[in-house]
A and B are shown apart, each in its own frame.
Chain A
Amino acid sequence: MSGSGGTEAGRFHAWRAAVRIARRDAWRYKGRSALVLAMIALPIMGVSAADITVRSSELTKQQQVTRDIGAADARLGSGGMGHRPLVQSPVNEEALPADQKQDESEQARDEADSDVDPRTAIPAGARWITDQSTYARIRTRSGLLDTSVRELKADDPIAAGIVDLDRGRFPRSPDEMIATQALLKSSGLHVDSLVRVRGFDRAYRIVGAYDLPSELGVEELTALPGAFIAGYTSAMKAAGSAYEGQNGPPSYLVSLPGGYSWPMVMHANSLGVVVESREVRLHPPARADVPFYRVAKTSTGVVQTGVQKAETVAAPVTVGALAILEVCLLAGPAFAVGARRSRRQLGLVGANGGDRRHIRAIVLSGGLVIGVVAAVTGTLLGLALTALLRGWLEEYVGKRFGGLALRPLELAAIAGLAVLTGLLAAVVPAVNASRQSVLSSLTGRRGVRHAGRVMPVIGLGAVCLGTGIAVFGSTRTDSVMVVGLGSGVAELGVVALTPVLVGAFGRFGRWLPTAPRLALRDAVRNRGRTAPAVAAVLAAVAGSVAVATYAASQDRQDHDAYTARAPRGVYAVSSGSDGGRELGAVRAAVEKHFPVSGRADVSRLVYGPRTCEPHSYQSGCGGFELQVPTANQCPSERVDDPTQLSLAERRSFATDWRCAYGGGQVAMDTEGDVTVGGPAVLHALGIRDGAAERALARGETVLFDRRYDDHGSLRLRLITDMAKQQTDDRTPSGEVRTVPVHVAGERTPYGLVAVMPRQAALAAGFRTVPFGSYYTTSRMPSGAQQQALAGALANFGSDAETYLEKGYQSKNHLVLLALSIFAGLVTVGAAGIATGLAQADAEPDLKTLAAIGAAPGVRRRLSGFQCGLIAAMGVVLGSLAGVLPAIGLRRAQLREEWSTYHTAVDNGWGRADSLPHVPIVVPWGTLVLLMLAVPLGATLLAAAVTRARPQLTRRADG
């Protein structure tokens, strides 16, 4: 029987007929079509909007250069290598010394080290302006803010394009500035307010707000050249502040007729000047003409490995595939019911010579039509969304778009996903519809519907295979990837098995009262539409539960790994500036605003003048270093290469106390983690140790880290000048002072190495400078109290460091809640759709029920239970399917950590305090919420929205 029906053209014509029927049907059943359309179009909208956003934020070279150097032809700056010739990259300003050998005479070195003036590379006849930045601390409403202050004539034609003035005007006089929107937002300042800088007695008026188009988040002030930096630097120098010298050398924006060519750039390089040239950026020189590449060959760049690339691709692909699966599972039943409802129509097609292929084509066309419409609407909506939210999106990515960039190929590919989703969702209903005999479709006999036998077998196979892989992964290997893969395969298998599992639920029917029993029977008998809905719920819940389990376990791990800096509720405040003169006011503020129950004042050890700030490298300020006696040093530190030691020796380090370095962070950062104070410090930190207290009273230092114990004393090596120490970078060779110690039983509590009584410090020749206090509180200070204190401290411009120990703060509650809500919504959605379909399917039965006099409530109760049942089945199966892979993943992770640990131990890097710890926690709260609340909610919701009375409609018109 060959005919035109078998040829390509013939197939095409048959498809045209199928598409026509599907198109008109989609229009006839608008509600159902709109539902499916929305399900497919929404993700497409999101993805295409994301694509447009990403592409729009990628600038052309021209746009990028304009944002960097404005209308100038080049920006010239120091290469930071003095007068030495250098080579630079044409695509960015990365520069390397042209001559890698460094054998110069002392004098030549000093000469070469002096800063280069980039103006030497500016050709005659060029016009130029300067651009320079420094850092300053400005006073804001809530305290101090480190911000960048720039000197640039932003309204000069050369600079046009660098700064994007939003409102106000450009500065005209030296006491005016403009500020970025980000700065105004975070400081609480506004156009017209005055800016004051800490340590500088001039005030500036903000006359405008601007953005740096490629760095919207940057906090910056811009003044006229000469208006700020010179005065500020000298004021800082006069005060001897650490802020001196933070201003970088100026760069020069040069406008040059004819542009700044690559040979000119190379000439500038030979003088030690780096150039960002518009012409070179737009038309980079040939590789062979760039000496930088020859020099850079030796220095290696970061190359993304194949595995990393695969991983960065794998994650979005997996998420995308899961999303498509989810949408297919949700949309599938809609097509199934569509096909059921138009059985007679399909039967008629069969009677008129349509074979299975044609029936499949008609149902598939339903998916095609909706997929195509969803593709178009989704893409258009995505475009509209991006256009509408452009400002907000630009803030989000931190960059002004160069324009809305539409990549037709990418958008088409994304839209193609919608078509694919529609088609995939319609595949199973299409195959099922085509299997129906024409006669039974025509006569409306329901007939016996055999559940497919292939899918369950495939599903079972996938479950076994996936579980096998996952079990193998978690017990034999340490690869999280393998476990993930196995769980994924098993998960898909469970989805394929859903019809069988739903059938298994039917057994419980016997024990149920009438309405739920009817609902259960109906759900089980009509597996064709129940199973996809249950599978959709299952997939969503399994994913959420897996992530929730993982998150809860990780949370416990983080909790266990958390190291407090003080007992919970203890507040530590310290101030290093002005030799602690500020402390009185700070303490008064704390005691005013906090429910303080006790206070322990501490000082710090200073060797040198008392004006030296903590950790200062200023010249004239000294320091010290704690000495570990040779006998207490970890053996691996004594050799250069641990592989010289035997394996047994290396392993032994893992249990050697000398190799377990005290960990933990301190609440108050003193030099060497040595705190000067009395027994009150121990009390505040909750250390009850009578012997230690008595030792302090005797004038002995309490030492918590016994590695420093040298036969009952602590040795401190003095450093006379930190500035010199820093430049020389040699092991200090100063005098060693010794203090007697009492070794406390407790090991480095809260990162503290030692508490030294004041008289011991003085006896050892140190100065003690008041540094701060530990406060115990009678209850945890409230958020309002914390804000009040922060405000009070900011008011007098204090730079006090504060720390309140709140204990471990879980970050996961929100994640877990969001996951529960997501899974709940999908569950209710899927169950709702399936119930709606069940109602549509059962409309004749319900009419019969109503006709024989059933109470109107029956209808409601029935639909409620139908919805609840689907939710319950999906949630129960999904929870099981989600918890198990998460446990597998954690076990694999544990194995992975053990293997890393053993490697470390075998290499001699082992530390006694770093045993792997990967707890597994089942998120019972989330599970209970999902298993009880969600089905209950679904039941009530469905019952509430169901019409009690049947709707009068025309009989089977299709």
Chain B
Amino acid sequence: MSSTSTPSDQPGPGDRPRVPAQGSPSRPSAQSAPTASASPSAARSGPEPVLRLEELTRVHGSGATEVHALRGIDLDVFPGELVAVMGPSGSGKSTLLTIAGGLDLPTSGRVVVEGTDLSAASRKELAALRRRSIGYVFQDYNLIPALTAAENVALPRELDGVSTRRARKEALAALEEMGLGHLADRFPDEMSGGQQQRVAIARALVGDRRLVLADEPTGALDSETGEAVLALLRTRCDAGAAGVLVTHEPRFAAWADRVVFLRDGSVVDMTLRSSAESLLTGGAAS
């Protein structure tokens, strides 16, 4: 379809962080968020964030083995925005994502997804939220091996009780829209790693889901394939989704609107994409 295939076709890092000329109308946050350093009060002036983290802490274990994985994190992610999270190993990136998706509970603080407070939700409500609002993409083995690509994408809808035929239709539409229609009836072990990851992104956004949480989605891919995956993620965000991307690679972080740096569970820096780019390139040069 549109320009999704171009990033991988056109090598050269200079081309990549291209801001789509006419950003979708739901993307004003990219400009307003940084100065307010993502504080909730500032965000209220714009549209509602898809994901809001307030004073988030997470402590693993207790006593001598106590680990503070997250210490007081605040973060808003707005529709149309892709936020990259970076940081050294063990800094709490994955923990942040699992809590944001309701797979884990914070020790203190609040997580609000599309207006629903996760800490007040029951286990059933959390599951329903994952079916309808939150999509996950992990590093690898994202797809259920027993199901074809289309069936994988249709799964959240089917679990939600949508009829098999309608779920399949929606899934095929989603795959088609992302240029993956030809993969619909393949099983995961008949697809490449990159194809699998892109199908996983399609699944993460099927139905009305608007929040993608991607934990090193390119970690198991070579850089070229990684670019294709990120390009897809970028287009989906431009189409109105909100994304949080954990990555180690600065060049992938450059696809994001904002980059959040974590160290020992705290946000140490937060930059706009443009400045992140210079920061990163500068850092790489020195």
Chain A nearest Cβ from B102, distance in angstroms: 9
Q: In the bound complex, what is the Cα–Cα distance between A11 and B164 (angstroms)?
A: 12
Residues of A within 8 A of B132 (CB): 3, 353
Query: Given A351-B101, A353-B127, are A10 and B144 also a contact pair (CB < 8 Å)?
Result: no
Report if B194 contacts A (CB, 8 A). no
Query: Given A1-B125, A355-B123, are A345 and B144 also a contact pair (CB < 8 Å)?
Result: yes
Report if B151 contacts A (CB, 8 A). yes
From A17-25, A165-173, A552-560, A650-658, give the one contacting chain B. A17-25
Residues of A within 8 A of B98 (CB): 439
Q: Is the CB of A24 within 8 A of B103?
A: no
Report if A344 contacts B (CB, 8 A). yes
Report if A438 contacts B (CB, 8 A). yes
Residues of A within 8 A of B135 (CB): 352
Q: Is the CB of B156 within 8 A of A20?
A: no
Q: In the bound complex, what is the Cα–Cα distance between A80 and B76 (angstroms)?
A: 106
**Contacts A/B (CB < 8 Å), 7 sampled:** A17-B155, A20-B146, A345-B144, A345-B146, A348-B142, A350-B103, A350-B127
Q: In the bound complex, what is the Cα–Cα distance between A344 and B143 (angstroms)?
A: 10
Q: Is the CB of A356 within 8 A of B123?
A: yes
Query: Given A14-B161, A439-B98, A957-B189, are A345 and B145 also a contact pair (CB < 8 Å)?
Result: yes
Residues of A within 8 A of B125 (CB): 1
Q: Is the CB of A352 within 8 A of B130?
A: yes
Q: Is the CB of B144 within 8 A of A354?
A: no
Quick one: which of B129-150 are within 8 Å of A by CB? Answer: 129-132, 135-136, 138, 141-147
Chain B's interface: helix, strand, loop or mixed, by majority?
helix
Query: Given A349-B155, A353-B128, are A4 and B146 also a contact pair (CB < 8 Å)?
Result: no
Residues of A within 8 A of B163 (CB): 9, 13
Residues of B within 8 A of A956 (CB): 141
Q: Is the CB of B131 within 8 A of A25?
A: no
Which among B131, B136, B162 is the interface contact of A13 at CB below 8 angstroms?
A: B162
Residues of B within 8 A of A7 (CB): 161
Quick one: which of B74-130 are within 8 Å of A by CB? Answer: 98, 101, 103-104, 123-125, 127-130
Chain A's interface: helix, strand, loop or mixed, by majority?
helix
Chain B nearest Cβ from A73, distance in angstroms: 63
Q: In the bound complex, what is the Cα–Cα distance between A958 and B187 (angstroms)?
A: 12
Q: Is the CB of B146 within 8 A of A958?
A: yes
Residues of B within 8 A of A3 (CB): 128, 132, 160-161
Give the interface centre of B104, B123, B159, B189 by most chain A CB atoms within 10 Å. Answer: B159
Q: Is the CB of A351 within 8 A of B136?
A: yes
Which among B123, B127, B146, B156 is the interface contact of A24 at CB below 8 angstroms?
A: B146
Residues of A within 8 A of B144 (CB): 21, 345, 348-349, 958
Residues of A within 8 A of B103 (CB): 350-351, 437-439, 442
Residue of B whose beta carbon sits closest to that of A14: B159
Residues of B within 8 A of A345 (CB): 144-146
| A-side interface residues, number (CB < 8 Å) | 37
Chain A nearest Cβ from B106, distance in angstroms: 13
Closest CB pairs A-B (n = 3): A10-B161, A353-B131, A355-B127
Interface string of A413-424 (1 = CB under 8 A from B): 000000000000
Query: Given A349-B144, A353-B130, are A4 and B160 also a contact pair (CB < 8 Å)?
Result: yes
Q: Is the CB of A11 within 8 A of B161?
A: yes
Report if A513 contacts B (CB, 8 A). no
Give the interface centre of A1, A7, A442 by most chain B CB atoms within 10 Å. Answer: A1
Report if A28 contacts B (CB, 8 A). yes
Chain A nearest Cβ from B174, distance in angstroms: 14
Residues of B within 8 A of A442 (CB): 103, 138
Q: Is the CB of A17 within 8 A of B158?
A: yes
Residue of A whose beta carbon sits closest to that of B187: A24
Q: Is the CB of A28 within 8 A of B145?
A: yes
Which among B161, B164, B189 is the interface contact of A6 at CB below 8 angstroms?
A: B161
Q: In the bound complex, what is the Cα–Cα distance between A82 and B151 (angstroms)?
A: 85
Report if A16 contacts B (CB, 8 A). yes
Residue of A whose beta carbon sits closest to that of B151: A20
Q: In the bound complex, what is the Cα–Cα distance between A98 and B103 (angstroms)?
A: 89
Interface string of A866-910 (1 = CB under 8 A from B): 000000000000000000000000000000000000000000000
Report if A664 contacts B (CB, 8 A). no
Quick one: which of B156-173 are within 8 Å of A by CB? Answer: 156, 158-164, 167
Q: Is the CB of B136 within 8 A of A352?
A: yes
Chain A nearest Cβ from B211, distance in angstroms: 12
Chain A nearest Cβ from B238, distance in angstroms: 24
Report if B52 contacts A (CB, 8 A). no
Chain B nearest Cβ from A812, distance in angstroms: 52
Residues of B within 8 A of A5 (CB): 128, 131, 159-161
Q: In the bound complex, what is the Cα–Cα distance between A350 and B101 (angstroms)?
A: 11
Residues of A within 8 A of B143 (CB): 348
Report if A358 contacts B (CB, 8 A). yes
Q: Is the CB of B158 within 8 A of A14?
A: yes
Residues of B within 8 A of A352 (CB): 130-131, 135-136, 155-156, 159, 203
Residues of A within 8 A of B104 (CB): 439
Chain B nearest Cβ from A444, distance in angstroms: 10
Q: In the bound complex, what is the Cα–Cα distance between A13 and B129 (angstroms)?
A: 18
Query: Given A352-B203, A958-B145, are A16 and B127 also a contact pair (CB < 8 Å)?
Result: no
Residues of A within 8 A of B142 (CB): 348
Chain B nearest Cβ from A23, distance in angstroms: 8
Chain B nearest Cβ from A183, distance in angstroms: 63
Q: Is the CB of B146 within 8 A of A16?
A: no
Quick one: which of A346-385 are within 8 Å of B by CB? Answer: 348-356, 358
Q: In the bound complex, what is the Cα–Cα distance between A4 and B164 (angstroms)?
A: 13
Q: In the bound complex, what is the Cα–Cα distance between A21 and B147 (angstroms)?
A: 7
Chain B nearest Cβ from A768, distance in angstroms: 93
Chain A nearest Cβ from B170, distance in angstroms: 13
Q: In the bound complex, what is the Cα–Cα distance between A350 and B102 (angstroms)?
A: 11
Interface string of A501-520 (1 = CB under 8 A from B): 00000000000000000000
Chain B nearest Cβ from A5, distance in angstroms: 4
Chain B nearest Cβ from A553, distance in angstroms: 54
Chain A nearest Cβ from B239, distance in angstroms: 21
Q: Is the CB of B123 within 8 A of A358?
A: no
